[in-house]
Amino acid sequence: VLSDREALMTLIEQNGGRMRQVQIVGRVRWSKSKVSRLLRELEGDGRVRRIRFGRENLVYLAEQDPAAVGRSDEE
Protein backbone atom coordinates (compact mmCIF):
# COMPACT_ATOMS: atom_id res chain seq x y z
CA VAL A 1 0.00 0.00 0.00
CA LEU A 2 1.39 3.39 -1.03
CA SER A 3 1.61 6.27 1.40
CA ASP A 4 -0.28 9.42 0.43
CA ARG A 5 3.00 11.08 -0.55
CA GLU A 6 4.02 8.13 -2.73
CA ALA A 7 0.56 8.02 -4.32
CA LEU A 8 0.91 11.71 -5.17
CA MET A 9 4.36 11.15 -6.69
CA THR A 10 3.02 8.24 -8.76
CA LEU A 11 0.14 10.37 -10.04
CA ILE A 12 2.50 13.15 -11.14
CA GLU A 13 4.88 10.64 -12.76
CA GLN A 14 2.00 8.99 -14.65
CA ASN A 15 1.01 12.39 -16.03
CA GLY A 16 4.32 13.19 -17.67
CA GLY A 17 5.98 14.58 -14.56
CA ARG A 18 3.93 17.77 -14.57
CA MET A 19 0.40 18.71 -13.49
CA ARG A 20 -1.54 21.73 -12.38
CA GLN A 21 -2.29 21.55 -8.67
CA VAL A 22 -6.02 21.91 -9.36
CA GLN A 23 -5.81 18.80 -11.57
CA ILE A 24 -4.24 16.85 -8.73
CA VAL A 25 -7.04 17.89 -6.37
CA GLY A 26 -9.57 16.79 -9.00
CA ARG A 27 -7.99 13.35 -9.34
CA VAL A 28 -7.64 12.43 -5.66
CA ARG A 29 -10.22 12.21 -2.89
CA TRP A 30 -8.40 14.62 -0.61
CA SER A 31 -9.09 18.21 0.36
CA LYS A 32 -7.21 21.10 -1.25
CA SER A 33 -5.43 21.71 2.05
CA LYS A 34 -4.24 18.08 2.30
CA VAL A 35 -2.91 18.16 -1.27
CA SER A 36 -1.16 21.46 -0.54
CA ARG A 37 0.38 20.08 2.66
CA LEU A 38 1.62 16.92 0.92
CA LEU A 39 3.09 18.95 -1.93
CA ARG A 40 4.81 21.27 0.56
CA GLU A 41 6.35 18.20 2.25
CA LEU A 42 7.49 16.77 -1.09
CA GLU A 43 8.89 20.18 -2.03
CA GLY A 44 10.78 20.30 1.27
CA ASP A 45 12.25 16.87 0.49
CA GLY A 46 13.37 18.15 -2.91
CA ARG A 47 11.13 15.71 -4.82
CA VAL A 48 8.80 18.21 -6.54
CA ARG A 49 8.74 21.91 -7.33
CA ARG A 50 5.85 24.30 -7.71
CA ILE A 51 5.74 27.35 -9.95
CA ARG A 52 3.04 29.97 -9.54
CA PHE A 53 1.17 30.85 -12.76
CA GLY A 54 -1.37 33.55 -12.07
CA ARG A 55 -3.77 32.02 -9.58
CA GLU A 56 -2.65 28.41 -9.88
CA ASN A 57 0.43 26.26 -9.31
CA LEU A 58 2.24 24.03 -11.75
CA VAL A 59 3.72 21.01 -9.97
CA TYR A 60 6.61 19.14 -11.59
CA LEU A 61 9.21 16.56 -10.62
CA ALA A 62 12.26 18.29 -9.20
CA GLU A 63 14.73 16.54 -11.50
CA GLN A 64 12.96 17.84 -14.60
CA ASP A 65 13.11 21.21 -16.29
CA PRO A 66 9.48 22.42 -16.39
CA ALA A 67 9.93 23.75 -19.93
CA ALA A 68 11.11 20.34 -21.14
CA VAL A 69 8.37 18.24 -19.56
CA GLY A 70 5.48 17.02 -21.72
CA ARG A 71 2.40 19.22 -21.48
CA SER A 72 0.02 17.06 -19.44
CA ASP A 73 -1.76 20.10 -18.05
CA GLU A 74 -3.86 20.71 -21.15
CA GLU A 75 -7.44 19.48 -21.16
**Cα(27)–Cα(6) distance, integer angstroms:** 15
For residues 20 and 40, give the distance between their C-alpha atoms in angstroms, rounded to a whole number. Answer: 14
What's the pTM value of the predicted model, to 2 decimals? 0.83
Look at residue 73 in the predicted model and tell me its pLDDT: 46
| Distance between CA atoms of residues 63 and 75, nearest Å | 24
Q: What is the DSSP-derived secondary structure letter of residue 36? A: H
pLDDT category, 74, cuts 50, 70, 90? very low
Is the CA virtual torsion 50, 48, 13, 39 positive or negative?
Answer: negative
